Structure 1
Amino acid sequence: MENSMKVAFSTLGCRMNQFETSALEEKFSNKGYQIIPFDEKADIYIVNTCTVTNDADRTSRKVLRQAKRRNPNAIVVATGCYAQVSPEKLAQIDEIDLVIGNSHKTTVYEIVENYINERKEEKVFIDNIFRKNEFETFQISTFYEGARPILKVQEGCNSFCSFCIIPFARGKVRSAKIEDIENQVKILVNKGFKEIVLTGTQLSQYGYDHKEGYLYNLLKRLINIKELYRIRLSSMGINEIDENLLSLLTSEEKIAPHFHLSMQSASDKVLKDMKRNYTVSQYIDIVNKILKRRPETAIGTDIITGFPTETREEFEKSVKIIKEIPFAYMHIFTYSQRENTSAVKFGDKVHPTEKKERTKILRKISEEKNYNFRKKYLNKDLEVLIIGEKNGKKLGLTGNYIHINFDSDKDINEITYVNMFKIEKDREKNFGKEVIK
């Protein structure tokens, strides 16, 4: 099917948006549209927006306006989280023709087609209600990050932390069926892929919307797939890690010893105000249990600086605790006040300069922790999966998330051993020599 119309996509924000843009590109391409770079002149521009911070909102608006300037006659579509949370605000922007929230993102193609066929000239935004049937029809989707397939098996979150806009932008938990995920993994394994990454808005809440079972049940099914080499899990919350899941994560070799456990703060007072529903000691207990049972594990985390009730004293106490926790890396975020979240009642009390300083301090600690984590594996033979090529060298990935550059005649998706002899401050600048075993 041929179509003379050109469509360009821009993706802002998280990996979820990358997944969904990839799916939309495939849909438009299959219908005959020509996919072109966003900086070229297109007939349709689709911007997958982000709203996690005020800066993300501003960037989304900027990109949407730039699209219309590139071609004043183009149809400019805003979709994604900003479109879900603030459709009326986006509808007021002259350069935007269509506003389609996450609740209708899977039908963007049909909505755009209808808009074109009816030759509408007025601005349109689609109501942004997550309906019951959308919970029932959630479909697994696949996104490729280089040679690694990443499966989106869950979306939404039921936690409603006080700082977070995501439950409003993504809705409550919806999960793909275990059988569908198992079948998709088998297809990917048969194609030669060895590592599969499972991801979702809050992966550890997988299955909260149906009676098939939770993440534990899903993993038990997947590890029985004979040729599957490794499953890697995306971000999880400790509240959902019970003893059964913890035992599986720390005993099953097919599950990568790499767990991203969002902490957000090392202050009990701030955690309570964030509505995180755990204490610092409970978080540390989970980390210690994992590392005791599986010492090679890489533990990553998220930390927010500058939350309204984080005083300088609370921050300094947090820093002392964070330094003691054996994180392999940390993602540091600066607090941004979001409308509709309950943290708005606290105001935005921390001065921007102070927020910037705290963020800088924690990022430096993160760099040191990551360097020290990798340093433990210097001059050791490490099993790696070749996931790509970079600057003429193969790029290998260990189970505990160390990227190593080395020379090899082996192909992508093959397993080999590498002696890591050099590391630099940059977390991906690790160099090794292949070891034949």
Structure 2
Amino acid sequence: MTLEVVSLGCRLNLSESESLRGLLAASDNLTVINSCAVTAEAVRQTRQAIRRARKARPDARLLVTGCAAEVEREALSAMPEVDGLVANAAKLDPRVWNVPPSPVAPHQGHTRAFVDVQNGCDHACTFCVIPQGRGPSRSRSVQQVIADVALHLESGAREVVLTGVDLTSWGGDLPDGPRLGSLVRATLDAFPTLERLRLSSLDGIEIDTQLFELLAGEPRVMPHVHLSLQSGDDMILKRMKRRHARADAIRLVENLRARRPDIAIGADLIAGFPTEDAAMHAANLSIIKELDVVHGHVFPYSLRPGTPAARMPQVAPAVIKARAAELRAAVAAQRSRWLASLVGTPLKVLAERDGTGHAENFARVRLPDDAQVSHWLTITPRAVIEGMLA
């Protein structure tokens, strides 16, 4: 093996890692760690991945890029296993790697393709270091996105996922300030045979009218919305400097469900944000049931030096851990009820290599033994319950 790319963190990193594999395919004896810094745990995992990679390939040149390469630059560069750092903003520039510019071919054989359409963030959430690692919001043009989607479809992808750090801010820096809904519409129009288009995390308060209509009524846009919610308590949301209130999230989901009753809701939630008391935690718990969150990402609050939240009164680590466990249990309960409700319902599932597949609502199911990758299956699965994967 001459090249290994290790990806940590978000879907955008996964997409960028695929591009790196294509860009550096001819590289000799190189390991690249595409790192994450969203939490202290993510940084710990990055350091662990670096040590593991060095042990596995002691003679390879080991370079680190990604958010941790920006936020934790001094600490990572001091690690004896690391040969160098590559700026996150420049990691897809062929000149940085001293390779010739060429179209980056997507990885063959993947049924789901991640296409990055936006990078960076202009917001200043008090807990977040991602703007330090990714820089300001930058949008790719419609033409660039369409070209990438075409490459993935030609390589066999059957589903496309549009990703970004702050996906719903796409277009704000482009001429005339188009909104994300227009990009989704343009992608669907450009590829009439594309059966599945999915979106990564959305900031609900930024969902434009056209995007809402597509989420609510376009069959090729999957009935699955993952919200960057972070909390169900209004005071905590204010202290986070989020731009929505609890009522905004409830109204959005109610309006989507009124038009598309089968839509599945996901959400990011933070446990134990500074100043969070028992009542605020209870509001966080209750939003899970109120929105019927069935795809939940729960993050214990992680103090990130240099952020405003780091200067706020902190919640005890043991309390944070316990609250995160309660949030995860609440999501698991909603998810179990939801999966039980799907038993006996035909689901259109896209087969994946590991013997599982995702339905349109992102329910993950174990497939029959004779299922083939890239084949659509319409099944009525008790396996949705018996073989479900969290």
The two structures have a TM-score, normalised by structure 1, of 0.80
Structure 1 unaligned residues grouped into runs of 5+: 35-42, 115-138, 430-437
| 2:119 maps to 1:155 | yes
Task: Tell whether the 8 Å contact from 1:19 to 1:142 is kept in structure 2 after alignment.
Answer: no
Assess, with a 3 A threshold, how the Cα gap between structure 1 residues 113 and 65 changes in structure 2: closer, same or farther. farther
Per-residue Cα deviation, 1:259-308 (whole angstroms, up to 9, x for no partner): 10121111100000001111101111001111111000001001000101
* Same amino acid, percent of matched pairs: 31
Alignment coverage as a number of residue pairs: 385
> In structure 2, which of residues 151, 167, 172 is the aligned counterpart of residue 203 of structure 1?
167
* CA distance in 2 between partners of 1:154 and 1:245 (Å): 16
Task: Tell whether the 8 Å contact from 1:12 to 1:48 is kept in structure 2 after alignment.
Answer: yes
> In structure 1, which of residues 40, 48, 61 is the aligned counterpart of residue 47 of structure 2?
61
Per-residue Cα deviation, 1:125-159 (whole angstroms, up to 9, x for no partner): xxxxxxxxxxxxxx999567841122112111222
Moved more, 66-75 or 333-342: 66-75
- What residue is the counterpart of 1:226 in the other structure? 192
Assess, with a 3 A threshold, how the Cα gap between structure 1 residues 386 and 277 changes in structure 2: closer, same or farther. closer
- What residue is the counterpart of 1:413 in the other structure? 374
> In structure 1, which of residues 339, 346, 367 is the aligned counterpart of residue 312 of structure 2?
346
Amino acid at match of 1:196: V
- What residue is the counterpart of 1:19 in the other structure? 15
Give the root-mean-square deviation of aligned CA atoms: 2.8
- What residue is the counterpart of 2:263 in the other structure? 297
Amino acid at match of 2:186: R
> In structure 2, which of residues 144, 157, 170 is the aligned counterpart of residue 180 of structure 1?
144
* CA distance in 1 between partners of 2:134 and 2:216 (Å): 30
Deviation at 1:165, TM superposition (A): 0.9
Moved more, 278-287 or 179-188: 179-188
| 2:355 maps to 1:359 | no
Per-residue Cα deviation, 1:307-344 (whole angstroms, up to 9, x for no partner): 01211221123323432221222111000011222212
* CA distance in 1 between partners of 2:274 and 2:84 (Å): 35
- What residue is the counterpart of 1:433 in the other structure? none
Deviation at 1:233, TM superposition (A): 1.0
- What residue is the counterpart of 1:28 in the other structure? 24
Assess, with a 3 A threshold, how the Cα gap between structure 1 residues 70 and 386 changes in structure 2: closer, same or farther. closer
Task: Tell whether the 8 Å contact from 1:379 to 1:419 is kept in structure 2 after alignment.
Answer: yes
Moved more, 240-249 or 196-205: 240-249
Matches within 5 A, 1:183-332: 183-189=147-153, 193-211=157-175, 213-224=178-189, 225-332=191-298
Task: Tell whether the 8 Å contact from 1:386 to 1:415 is kept in structure 2 after alignment.
Answer: yes
> In structure 2, which of residues 5, 17, 27 is the aligned counterpart of residue 9 of structure 1?
5
The two structures have a TM-score, normalised by structure 2, of 0.89
* CA distance in 1 between partners of 2:373 and 2:34 (Å): 31
Relative contact order (C-alpha < 8 Å, sep 6+): which is higher?
A: 2
Amino acid at match of 2:159: E
* CA distance in 2 between partners of 1:288 and 1:21 (Å): 36
Deviation at 1:399, TM superposition (A): 1.5
> In structure 1, which of residues 346, 350, 372 is the aligned counterpart of residue 337 of structure 2?
372
Is the partner of 2:381 in helix, strand or coil? strand
Moved more, 8-17 or 291-300: 8-17
Is the partner of 2:268 in helix, strand or coil? strand
| 2:370 maps to 1:428 | no
Structure 2 unaligned residues grouped into runs of 5+: none
Is the partner of 2:228 in helix, strand or coil? coil
- What residue is the counterpart of 1:104 in the other structure? 90
Amino acid at match of 2:382: F
User: For the pair shown, which has the larger CA radius of gyration, 1 or 2?
Assistant: 1
Per-residue Cα deviation, 1:15-38 (whole angstroms, up to 9, x for no partner): 222222222222222x3x35xxxx
- What residue is the counterpart of 2:73 in the other structure? 87
- What residue is the counterpart of 1:50 in the other structure? 36
Assess, with a 3 A threshold, how the Cα gap between structure 1 residues 144 and 358 changes in structure 2: closer, same or farther. farther
Task: Tell whether the 8 Å contact from 1:140 to 1:176 is kept in structure 2 after alignment.
Answer: no
Per-residue Cα deviation, 1:91-110 (whole angstroms, up to 9, x for no partner): 33344331222022124x64
Per-residue Cα deviation, 1:51-101 (whole angstroms, up to 9, x for no partner): 111222233234434555667665332211111123233333344331222
